[in-house]
Chain A
Amino acid sequence: MITGANGSGKSTLLRCLAGLLAPDAGTIDHLEGGSVLSTAERRARIGFVAPDLAFYDELSAGENLEFFAKLRGLPSVRAGELLERVGLPADRAAGALSSGMRQRLRWAWALLARPRALLLDEPFQNLDVEGEDTVRSLLGEHLESGGLAILASPIALEVSGAVSHLNLGR
Chain B
Amino acid sequence: MPSPTSTWVASAQAVFTKDWRCELRSRYALNAIGLFAVTTLVVTSAALGPAGTNKSLAINVLPAMLWLILLFAAAAGLPRAFVHEEESHTAIALRLASPPSALFVGKLVFGVTLLLAIEALIAPLYLAVMSLEVNSPGLLVVALVSGGYGLAAGSVLIAALASQARGRSTLFSVLAFPVLMPLLLLAIELTRNAVAGDVAGPALPQLLLYDGSVTIAGLMLFPAVWNP
Q: Touching in the complex, A and B, CB below 8 A?
A: yes
**A residues within 8 Å of B by Cβ?**
18-22, 39-40, 43, 46, 48, 50, 52-59, 63, 67-68, 70-73, 109
B18 at the interface (CB under 8 A from A): yes
CB <8 Å contact, B26 and A58 = yes
Q: Which residues of A contact B11 (CB under 8 A)?
A: 70-73
Nearest A residue to B103, CB-CB: A71
| B15 CB contacts on chain A under 8 angstroms | 71
**Given the interface contacts A20-B96, A39-B227, A59-B21, does A70 sit within 8 Å of B14 by beta carbon?**
yes
Report yes or no: B93 in contact with A68, Cβ–Cβ below 8 A. Answer: yes
A132 to chain B, nearest CB (A): 22
Which of A18, A52, A58, A63 sits near B89, CB closer than 8 Å? A52
Chain B hits for A21, CB < 8 A: 228
Closest to A73 in B: B7
Bound Cα distance A50, B11 (Å): 24
A53 to B22, CA, bound (A): 18
Contacts of A50 in B (CB 8 A): 92
Q: List the A side residues contacting B98 at CB < 8 Å.
A: 71-72
Q: Which of B10, B25, B102, B228 has the most CB of A within 10 A?
A: B228
Min distance, Cβ A120 to any Cβ of chain B, angstroms: 14
Q: How far is the CB of B133 from chain A (nearest CB, A)?
A: 42
A residues less than 8 Å from B6 (CB atoms): 73
- In the complex, how many angstroms separate the beta carbon of A7 from the nearest chain B beta carbon? 20
By the criterion CB–CB under 8 Å, are B228 and A22 in contact? yes
Q: Does B99 contact A (CB under 8 A)?
A: yes
**Complex: chain B residue closest to A72, CB-CB:** B97
Q: How large is the interface on B (under 10, 10 to 19, 20 to 34, 35 or more residues)?
A: 20 to 34
Q: Does B95 sit within 8 A of A, measured CB to CB?
A: yes
Task: Quote the shortest CB–CB distance from A63 to chain B (angstroms).
Answer: 7
Contact partners of B89 in chain A: CB under 8 A: 52-54
Q: List 9 interface pairs A-B (beta carbons < 8 Å), by A numbering.
A: A19-B96, A20-B92, A20-B228, A22-B228, A39-B227, A54-B88, A56-B88, A68-B93, A70-B14
Asked if B92 contacts A67 (CB within 8 A), the reply is: no
B2 within 8 A of A: yes
Give 7 nearest A-B pairs by CB, closest first.
A73-B7, A22-B228, A54-B89, A70-B14, A58-B22, A58-B25, A71-B98
Tell me which residues from 3 to 51 in chain B have a Cβ below 8 Å from any Cβ of chain A: 6-7, 10-11, 13-15, 17-18, 21-22, 25-26
Residue B90 lies at the interface, judged by CB distance under 8 Å to chain A:
yes
Binding site for A on B (CB under 8 A): 2, 6-7, 10-11, 13-15, 17-18, 21-22, 25-26, 88-90, 92-99, 102, 227-228
- How far is it, in angstroms, between the C-alpha of A67 and the C-alpha of B90 when the chains are bound? 12
Q: How far does the alpha carbon of A133 sit from the alpha carbon of B103 in the complex, in Å?
A: 36
A54 near B93: Cβ-Cβ < 8 Å: yes
User: In the complex the two chains form, is A67's CB within 8 Å of B99's CB?
Assistant: no
Residues of A within 8 A of B102 (CB): 71
For the complex, give the distance between the alpha carbons of A122 and B6 in Å.
36
Check B93 against A57 for contact (C-beta < 8 Å).
no
With a cutoff of 8 Å between Cβ atoms, the chain B residues found around residue A46 in the complex are 96
> How far apart sit A55 and B94, CA to CA, in the bound complex (Å)?
9
Chain A residues with Cβ below 8 Å from B17 are 67
Closest to A39 in B: B227
Assuming the A-B contacts A21-B228, A71-B14, A73-B11, are A53 and B93 also in contact, with contact meaning beta carbons closer than 8 angstroms in the complex? Answer: yes
Q: Which of B21, B92, B97, B99 has the most C-beta atoms of chain A within 10 angstroms of its own C-beta?
A: B97
Asked if residues A18 and B96 are in contact (CB atoms below 8 Å), the reply is: yes
Interchain CA distance A72-B13 in the complex, whole Å: 12
Q: How far does the Cβ of B112 sit from chain A's closest Cβ, in whole Å?
A: 20
Q: Please report the C-alpha to C-alpha distance between residue A59 and residue B227 in the assembled complex, in whole angstroms.
A: 25
Is B97 a contact of A71 with CB atoms below 8 Å?
Answer: yes
B18 touches A48 (CB 8 A): no
